[in-house]
Structure 1
């Protein structure tokens, strides 16, 4: 069976990479509008309603408008914007966290944010298992390739070769924070400090844990606390059998993790649990491609499940 897919916003970075992952796949037929028609509401509405699956790669307001144009009960939507990530009636498109069956059966799926993917992947399983408290004020430090910032940011980075680091969301109002809090089951919004570096793609997300202070009685001895070995074991069990998420069992031999500017497209997600010698401090670290599992790869994974296909079809793993 061939499924008709319309990517609304197909000329943006996320849309282009989704289309690349669908190219040559007989399971899908892309509905494509030419340059003039893709900006016409009537043409877009026709495509939105003719499709079996719609993938929205649009700004938030435009994504809401696109959903409102759908006048039938069969067109299923994956929204890569922020508009619906914590909205009622939408399923969060992180199958490893929300469940593959939930994503497979959903009419409306919100694609996770790139930073949120790393944060939630690390923290949600440990909070659910009672190994970390839900009411701790967590912090999250992260760096990303500049491609996640859209065409304007890409142009600025590529035009100015002197930028080495760009900190942003300095007002602490980053749009990913609501989903990070909600999907991890936290009582408090995390303090999130993102930055962009001069690499086209790639991302590292870190959650530092002062375990001694968190337990109040030394590492691993307070209520709702666990050891770093327990964290690693719990994450390994949680993602057992996942073809996308892996958990490193040993710290890097040289004590370093690298994010290379030459990174190739990748749809996987690698998690690390790192600890101080006395166990009083830990670092939970996620490595991913912000355009892969952090955007386009995640959308294709959800699309595969919704279409009843192998979730890894077309992915770069």
Structure 2
């Protein structure tokens, strides 16, 4: 009889936690443990369940995630492995970044790590675009970059979700106008950027789906590359990846952010006007799929010794 991996989702009432629970429900290789509703804020009860499971998935606000991590730290050898879907530990020492396609060896690092920080949705698209080009020398680490993105409202937290679902939100809006979005530190760290990019997020009146885009003036880049140089870098970097691929520019001249909804895939597009020496790089994904719960399950499978999430 196959031993089941015991999993506890701490914070399964939110969007990401619910999505992960739905994806794991019914899997024969997993036993999902849960606290009764009346005990969810009982520290002793949480400590006991954490000590009894193999892996804990944290779908919590940052401060609450740090509290659970501290609780696990006090358990010593009884501490479970951790997969944190919050922002709290994405650039923290001792945590493995949960983007399997980041670079060679990242999937193996996730598979063997005890503390995995699940990647952010916008960061997934941005890093997927930037890291292969930095590694290939096509973009300098100190290159001034502008990243624009649009997401479905499900990635914006409870208040935003409720506003859209009540019909009280606009069709489109820019937000995080302080230019201090919480995904920027991980974008810089794992894209290997030394210069802070200008990141402009926005939200549309649709539940899920995402486009992350980055315009480039080709003659301002090292070696003045052509579009085919970018395509070669992406094709090489993502060769053999199950969920990330280079896609052809659509003949319609349009990109729909909803196309990959319901999947865990990410598509990278290189759109160029050689005569103008301009290029637009675009990543398309489901913000609840590869950008959140899908990535978490991909990482969980790696932690469990499966190959579904390998790059």
Give the TM-score normalised by structure 2: 0.94
Q: What is residue 140 of structure 1 aligned with on the other side? A: 147
Q: 1:189 is paired with a residue of what secondary structure? A: coil
Deviation at 1:51, TM superposition (A): 1.3
| Structure 2 residue 62 is the aligned partner of structure 1 residue 87 | no
Whole-Å Cα distance in 2 between the matches of residues 285 and 72 of structure 1?
A: 44
Q: What is residue 68 of structure 1 aligned with on the other side? A: 70
Deviation string for 1:49-70 (max 9, x for gaps)? 2110011000000000000111
8 A contact 2:272–2:278 mirrored in 1: yes
Q: 1:96 is paired with a residue of what secondary structure? A: coil
Number of aligned positions between the proteins:
303
Q: What residue ranges of structure 2 are gaps of 5+ in the alignment?
A: none
Whole-Å Cα distance in 1 between the matches of residues 261 and 185 of structure 2?
A: 30
Deviation at 1:154, TM superposition (A): 0.7
Higher mean C-alpha deviation, range 137-146 or range 251-260: 251-260
Deviation string for 1:116-163 (max 9, x for gaps)? 000001110110111111111111000000001122211011112551
8 A contact 1:49–1:72 mirrored in 2: no
8 A contact 1:3–1:52 mirrored in 2: yes
Q: 1:33 is paired with a residue of what secondary structure? A: coil
Give the TM-score normalised by structure 1: 0.92
2:13 to 6, 11, 14: 11
8 A contact 1:201–1:263 mirrored in 2: no
Q: What is residue 307 of structure 1 aligned with on the other side? A: 304
Whole-Å Cα distance in 2 between the matches of residues 307 and 207 of structure 1?
A: 35
Give the alignment of 1:1-317 within 5 angstroms: 1-70=3-72, 71-73=75-77, 74-98=79-103, 99-161=106-168, 163-212=170-219, 214-215=220-221, 222-223=222-223, 225-248=224-247, 250-260=248-258, 264-278=261-275, 280-312=277-309
Deviation at 1:263, TM superposition (A): 6.7
Whole-Å Cα distance in 1 between the matches of residues 225 and 6 of structure 2?
A: 47
Whole-Å Cα distance in 2 between the matches of residues 259 and 95 of structure 1?
A: 23
Relative to structure 1, the CA distance from residue 184 to residue 17 in structure 2 (aligned partners, 3 Å threshold; closer, same or farther) is: same
8 A contact 2:8–2:57 mirrored in 1: yes
Deviation at 1:42, TM superposition (A): 1.7
After superposing on structure 2, the runs of 4+ consecutive aligned residues of structure 1 that deviate more than 3 Å are none
Q: What residue ranges of structure 1 are gaps of 5+ in the alignment?
A: 216-221
CA RMSD of aligned residues (A): 1.6
Whole-Å Cα distance in 1 between the matches of residues 100 and 242 of structure 2?
A: 12
Whole-Å Cα distance in 1 between the matches of residues 239 and 76 of structure 2?
A: 38
